[in-house]
Amino acid sequence: MSTLEALPRIEPAEGLVAAWTERYTGALMNTFGPPKRVLVRGEGCHVWDADGKRYLDLLSGLAVNSLGHAHPLVVQAVTGQLTTLGHISNFFASAPQIVLAERLLDLLGVAGNGRVFFCNSGAEANEAAFKIARRTGRPKIVSTVGGFHGRTMGALALTGQPAKQEPFAPMPPGVEFVPYGDTGALAEAVDERTAAVILEPIQGENGVLPAPPGYLAAAREITERHGALLILDEVQTGVGRTGEWFAYLPTGITPDVVTLAKGLGAGIPIGACVGIGRAATLLGPGDHGTTFGGNPVACAAGLAVLYAIERDDLLANVRQVGAHLVEGIRAIEHPLLAGVRGAGLLLAFQLTGPHAARLAEAALDAGFIVNNVAPDAVRLAPPLILTAEQADTFLRALPGLLDSVWKEISA
């Protein structure tokens, strides 16, 4: 008998999705509510549930599956690395870790002037950024209302959503919040006690709200004037999601810290906190750590993702298919539809009322995975490989989905 044959098998359950959901409820903490479906397989931009139903994945695991599901390059990279060197601890280094760090610094345009700390998630990347800010010796960090930077305690303290903070108060001290996009409020809040300002180029979890033109450049000028760090949270917007390698790059500014995660591993957990200039050396030996950060398998996946984006010109695809989706949504005239916003393949269409959850349910029933990111906004964050033809299947279905919700609320 081979080693594989000796492993316990996961047998199909009687009742399939319903039975698996019941078992989930009995075995896992209720931190996410009951699962909407139990998924068993993915290929490209599609996934299948345990009942055999197929869905077009327009959320990609919350913007994580940048290359879709079971992409051959990621499978090849992960399996190849795992058969060679799987985990080594941070007492040692590996070639994938070093090469990925060099590649990220190159893409950010800071090769020779930056350093990378690898971790496992966006929250961890922002925790590292938080500690970099603390090492300036200044007590205050400025964040924004509605911003989302993670759910660990440090990252949660930076998150401008009181409903997520209040059950776990008190938060780590020293964080002040200003309205997102308000340059005047930011200028008033930042002073010589400010260690850092943390901003998202697009507030993804707050309904996909892009920063106003000039806002990031103004934040750079304000932080420089007072000697504070500028931290850009590109956890959701980075690695090609907006049609640029990183959403802030077209602004021409250079931040002090950039945090990454989600799409970097295409489903393999990895995050990164990139320090630039003086921020690259504020953390020293013993200041911070992570058990799995820099894992060779995760770094190999990250390298495969960057290679695929470049090889297949996916930045252009993101811009073209994203524009196609925006144009298609804007062409729909419906009393429930109020507009569309975002960049590349990070979009949200605005509804005229708090009906996003019902619309997301209707879409799921029709075979489309979308996300009610706000009561009145539905988020689209599909794989970067989405084609215009696949986008069209959703655009053709959307009027009927809106009609179904409209009839329900009008009854």
Residue indicated by tokens 């199909």: 12
Q: Is 21 annotated as a binding residue?
A: no
Q: Is 305 annotated as a binding residue?
A: no
Residue 313, judged by CB atoms within 10 A of its CB (0-12, 13-18, 19+), counts as exposed
C-alpha 173/C-alpha 136 separation (Å) is 16
Q: Is 122 annotated as a binding residue?
A: yes
Q: Is 326 annotated as a binding residue?
A: no
Q: Is 187 annotated as a binding residue?
A: no
Q: Is 148 annotated as a binding residue?
A: yes
Non-local (6+) Cβ contacts of 380 within 8 A are 58, 59, 325, 342, 345, 346, 347, 348, 349, 370, 371
Both structure tokens of 101? 């760090």
Q: Is 396 annotated as a binding residue?
A: no
Non-local (6+) Cβ contacts of 64 within 8 A are 262, 263, 265, 266, 267
Parallel, antiparallel or unpaired: strands 346-351 and 194-199: unpaired
49: left (phi over 0), alpha (psi -120 to 50) or beta: beta
Q: Is 387 annotated as a binding residue?
A: no
| Helix 296-311 vs helix 95-108: crossing angle, to nearest 10 | 40
Q: Is 390 annotated as a binding residue?
A: no
Q: Is 235 annotated as a binding residue?
A: yes
Residue indicated by tokens 């209302």: 145
The annotation places the binding site for N(2)-acetyl-L-ornithine at 151, 290
The annotation places the binding site for pyridoxal 5'-phosphate at 122-123, 148, 233-236, 291
The annotation places the binding site at 122-123, 148, 151, 233-236, 290-291
